[in-house]
Amino acid sequence: MATKLAKYNEDIDRLLKKGYALSIDSNHLVVRDIPYLDNKGELNIGAIVSILNSIDQYKVGMVDHQIYFCGSHPHELSGKPIRNLGGGPVQLKLTSDDLIVQRSFSNKPPSGKFENWFDKIESYVTIISGPSMNKFDIHPYTFRVVAENSNSVFKFRDTLSSRSEIGDLSAKLEEDTVAIIGLGGTGAYLLDFLVKTPVKEIRGFDLDWYHVHNAFRSPGKLEADELGKRKSEVYKQRYEGFRDNINIHSNYITSDSEKDLVGVTFAFVCVDSGTSRAEIFELLIKLKIPFIDIGMGLDRNMGAISGMLRTTSFSKESAQNLMEKRLAPLSDIPDDVYKNNIQISELNALNACLAIIKYKQLREFYVDDNSYYHTLFNIDGLNCFGENGKN
């Protein structure tokens, strides 16, 4: 990855040609083989780590003048800590086992900012490695080629996670293959949210066609040539430039769909038919796939629209018991207002938000103080009610 970046970034290329051991890890530029002196004057080898700011698919810049460092605080030949290295102890999770970030450093150049990566790395190496290079016959120009982890599903580097320092939390989602059963209003927003997570694979299932009304209750812009195509084709094309492993299928999930769900580790059920929901539940329970069912109930009895949004989480252990509680409708309701086309984009999006938050709580991305498996959001009062094993 570093060598690929060097083709489009002159400053990265200069670092490689000088002999720095560069790699990319979790959207950070890593410079290994950095010598420094510890508090006993002994030689240590550390690494400089700095956040990459992706300008496009190939060009990268810097976020700021600061760096992270894998190692203890460097010392002068006199045995005193090197001065003018602001920052302090910090933890940052990277994917490489040999990289353990221990602290951050901040040393602004006289101009107030570095003009390029070459100047930034050279400046910090002079400060950190100068004493050790003076004392020992050593330098950081090893020309070492570092093997890199390039498993990312994204077509662009995930600069959001690195800038927010939540890469370790995002990694909790990487092993999941997630199915979205139904790509209506709520399912379409769920797809949009999941595309931006590092889950291993996303599988969508919907046989319906994409018409104008779908554009009014789903994310993204409307392209005229999308109308009249299958939803599977529209959504596949819309997101394939963002990441890999998006597989949208033009079929419904029924009791005979076991092959479609092989390898799925989590599912979202976004259908408005009670009988279809019951059939899907039975299949997911049989396959021991945990899932979240999403629904909404809206009406216009008082002129304006009122109602509730529902999110119900079914674990492998509790799914059968929760199904028997009938927290989600398992039969079709005559004259159901929701089926008569009351769908509002912001409510579809909010319902998807509640579901994705619950999924991330289950994966310990978010804190979950209440462990609700059943949540109702009341539109009228903008309040939320939950049910857990303690209720």
Q: Which CATH number characterizes residue 290's domain? A: 3.40.50.720
Q: Please tell me whether residues 231 and 358 are part of one structural domain.
A: yes
Band the pLDDT of 149: cuts 50, 70, 90: low
211-231 tens-digit pLDDT: 888 888 888 888 888 888 898
Q: Please tell me whether residues 4 and 138 are part of one structural domain.
A: yes
Element holding 6 (H helix, E strand): helix 2-6
Mean predicted confidence (pLDDT) in 95-102: 86
Q: Please tell me whether residues 243 and 366 are part of one structural domain.
A: yes
pLDDT at 322 over 60: yes
Hey, which of 58-62, 75-79, 319-323 has the most confident mean pLDDT? 75-79
| Predicted model pTM | 0.71
Q: What is the residue type of 172?
A: K
Here the tokens at position 173 are 């989602």
Q: Please tell me whether residues 165 and 255 are part of one structural domain.
A: yes
Task: Give every strand in the sheet of 374-378, ordered side by side.
Answer: 246-249, 201-205, 177-181, 266-269, 291-302, 304-314, 374-378, 383-387
Rounded Cα distance between 350 and 113, Å, is 41
Which 3 state secondary structure label does DSSP give 365? coil
Supply angle C-alpha 192, 206, 218, rounded to 5: 35
Band the pLDDT of 246: cuts 50, 70, 90: very high
CA proximity to 206, closest of 252, 174, 144? 252
**3 assigned to some structural domain:** yes
Band the pLDDT of 66: cuts 50, 70, 90: very high
**118 assigned to some structural domain:** yes
pLDDT at 64 over 60: yes
The residues, any chain, with a CB within 8 Å of residue 135's CB and separated by 6 or more, are: 37, 41, 43, 77
Q: Please tell me whether residues 272 and 349 are part of one structural domain.
A: yes
260-319 tens-digit pLDDT: 999 999 999 999 888 899 999 999 999 999 999 998 888 877 788 888 999 999 999 989
Mean predicted confidence (pLDDT) in 44-72: 90
**383 assigned to some structural domain:** no
pLDDT at 320 over 80: yes
Backbone angles phi, psi at 261, to 5 degrees: -105, 10
CB 62 within 8 A of CB 117: yes
Q: Please tell me whether residues 143 and 182 are part of one structural domain.
A: no
Only one residue has tokens 């927003």, namely 189
Rounded Cα distance between 88 and 102, Å, is 8
Q: Please tell me whether residues 279 and 365 are part of one structural domain.
A: yes
Average pLDDT, the chain: 88
Neighbours of 29 (CB within 10 A): 25
Mean predicted confidence (pLDDT) in 183-197: 93
CB 100 within 8 A of CB 49: no
Out of 115, 150, 185, pick the residue that ends a domain: 150
Structural domain count of the chain = 2
How confident is the model at residue 390, as a pLDDT? 65
Out of 92, 125, 150, pick the residue that ends a domain: 150
CB 132 within 8 A of CB 36: yes
Q: Please tell me whether residues 130 and 205 are part of one structural domain.
A: no
Backbone angles phi, psi at 225, to 5 degrees: -75, -5
Q: Please tell me whether residues 239 and 275 are part of one structural domain.
A: yes
Which 3 state secondary structure label does DSSP give 327? coil
Out of 118, 150, 182, pick the residue that ends a domain: 150
CB 346 within 8 A of CB 354: no
How confident is the model at residue 333, as a pLDDT? 65
CB 323 within 8 A of CB 291: no
First to last CA, the chain: 51
CB 299 within 8 A of CB 337: yes
CA proximity to 187, closest of 370, 368, 348? 348
Here the tokens at position 295 are 């629904």
Band the pLDDT of 338: cuts 50, 70, 90: very low
Hey, which of 139-148, 191-200, 338-347 has the most confident mean pLDDT? 191-200
Q: Please tell me whether residues 112 and 226 are part of one structural domain.
A: no
Q: Please tell me whether residues 191 and 281 are part of one structural domain.
A: yes
pLDDT at 19 over 70: yes
Structural domain including 15 reads 1-150
Q: Please tell me whether residues 124 and 166 are part of one structural domain.
A: no
Here the tokens at position 301 are 């009895």
> Percent of the chain at pLDDT above 70?
94
**391 assigned to some structural domain:** no
Burial letters for 57-71: b for 16+ Cβ neighbours within 10 Å, e otherwise?
A: eeebebeebbbbbbb
Percent composition of the chain: helix, strand, coil (DSSP 3-state, to 5): 30, 25, 45
Here the tokens at position 382 are 């903008």
